[in-house]
Chains A and B, each alone.
Chain A
Amino acid sequence: MDVVNQLQRQFLDYSASLHREGFLDDQFTQLQKLQDENSPDFVVEVASLFFEDCEKLINNMARALEQQQGVDFKQVDASVHQLKGSSSSIGAMRVKNVCIAFRSFCEAQNREGCLRCLQQVTQEYSLLKNKLQTLFRLEQQILAAGGSVPTIE
């Protein structure tokens, strides 16, 4: 069972680093705790929904900010608000924090500031997606090796 132990340790270390670096907050841990035999893929499913949401909303924001004749900041803000909500629900802390700054720029009707935030939010979403994919892969490896995924505390 050495392989399993190794993988489990890797998983825990990786998880800890994601929290330490602010990618994930306690809400993500809450979701992991909710996962059970009735919904063994709960976290992966929520994460997938979140990433779909991200893509859609980022596209909306980009389109709205592109409008040369005048940006509808209310529209941008509406999308940012939604993204802030879902990132908060899944525990995607860095994404959420960018959204908070983003909203201020929307309120100030600052197009430059908004564009910077859009770039940042796109970056954070990509980073998080990669990291979560790595985390989920580790989980799969543990299960494939016959072990169980350790619970975070």
Chain B
Amino acid sequence: MEVAGEVLHSGSSQELHVLAVDDSYVDRKVIEKLLKTSSCKVTAVESGARALQFLGLDGGKGSLGFNGLKVNLIMTDYSMPGMTGYELLKKIKRSSAFREIPVVIMSSENILTRIDSCLEEGAEEFLVKPVKLSDVKRLTKDCVTRGETEGRDGRRVNKRKLEDDNHSSSSSTSSSPSTTASFGCGLATSELLSSPLHSSKRAKLRDRD
């Protein structure tokens, strides 16, 4: 894992840090390569439990994970022993600290009810495996674009219904002074990269044959 602040992409774009979760070693290796090719930093773990541990959601370190690098996107396999990707998704979306992080579900099975449940629970997208480079490039580009757009507006769009949120202003869930400082510059986009990608979900379903 890389040290915070060590890598900054040239120009205005900043490297996204993606947390990939998959129990298959082969798939982990492939997704890691896809993400690195798309100029992302990657942390690949083998289970939902590990993912929660990394995020600090199991009561551990807190939102910065082991190495102080914030997670901007989570990509998880659906079918995993122990905790499924769906269960992981729910846990993340029910956490005030991490609900803003976009979660993408990957699955080898194109089951409509499964897709629906995931989208209902707040998944940004449901990708059918095998995942392609074009999928990853698009996803990560959306992530960055969204972050930059909201950077200019100076506000974050909270997609989860505000009516049932009591914590709105007090939770600076994805912003943390130490995080921005550790990137070595005052880039406001760092905190905003964790904002939801877009609201049209069904349209993003990609089919595989």
| Interface residues, chain A, with chain B CB atoms under 8 Å away | 27, 30-31, 33-34, 36, 38-39, 42, 45-46, 49-50, 52-53, 81-82, 84-86, 88-91
Contact status of A89 and B133, CB under 8 A, knowing A34-B37, A42-B33, A49-B29:
no
Question: What's the dominant secondary structure at chain A's contact region?
Answer: helix
Q: Are B27 and A34 in contact (CB under 8 A)?
A: no
Q: Are A30 and B108 in contact (CB under 8 A)?
A: no
Q: Are B108 and A34 in contact (CB under 8 A)?
A: no
B79 proximal to A (CB < 8 A): yes
Q: Are A30 and B27 in contact (CB under 8 A)?
A: no
27 residue pairs A–B, Cβ–Cβ below 8 Å: A27-B130, A33-B133, A34-B34, A38-B36, A39-B33, A39-B36, A45-B29, A46-B26, A46-B29, A46-B30, A49-B25, A49-B29, A52-B25, A53-B26, A82-B24, A84-B108, A85-B26, A85-B79, A85-B129, A86-B26, A86-B27, A88-B108, A88-B129, A88-B130, A89-B26, A90-B26, A90-B30
B25 proximity list for chain A (CB < 8 A): 49, 52-53
Which of A52, A53, A85, A86: most chain B Cβ within 10 A?
Answer: A85
Q: Are B37 and A50 in contact (CB under 8 A)?
A: no
Q: Are B27 and A85 in contact (CB under 8 A)?
A: yes
B159 proximal to A (CB < 8 A): no
B114 proximal to A (CB < 8 A): no
Shortest CB-to-CB span from A73 to chain B, Å, is: 17
Complex alpha-carbon distance, A89 and B52, angstroms: 25
Q: Are B24 and A53 in contact (CB under 8 A)?
A: yes
B79 proximity list for chain A (CB < 8 A): 81, 85
Complex alpha-carbon distance, A139 and B186, angstroms: 47
Closest to A33 in B: B133
Closest to A78 in B: B81
| Interface residues, chain B, with chain A CB atoms under 8 Å away | 24-27, 29-30, 33-34, 36-37, 79, 108, 129-130, 132-133
Closest 5 CB pairs of A and B: A86-B26, A89-B130, A49-B26, A85-B108, A27-B130
The 8 Å CB contact of B24, one of A27, A31, A85, is A85
B130 proximity list for chain A (CB < 8 A): 27, 30, 88-89, 91
A38 proximity list for chain B (CB < 8 A): 36
A30 proximity list for chain B (CB < 8 A): 130, 132-133
Shortest CB-to-CB span from A48 to chain B, Å, is: 10
Complex alpha-carbon distance, A25 and B133, angstroms: 16
B30 proximity list for chain A (CB < 8 A): 31, 46, 89-90
Closest to B107 in A: A85
A31-B30, A53-B25 given; 6 more Cβ-contact pairs under 8 Å: A49-B25, A52-B25, A82-B24, A85-B26, A86-B26, A89-B129
Which of A38, A82, A91: most chain B Cβ within 10 A?
Answer: A82
Contact status of A86 and B34, CB under 8 A, knowing A45-B29, A49-B29:
no
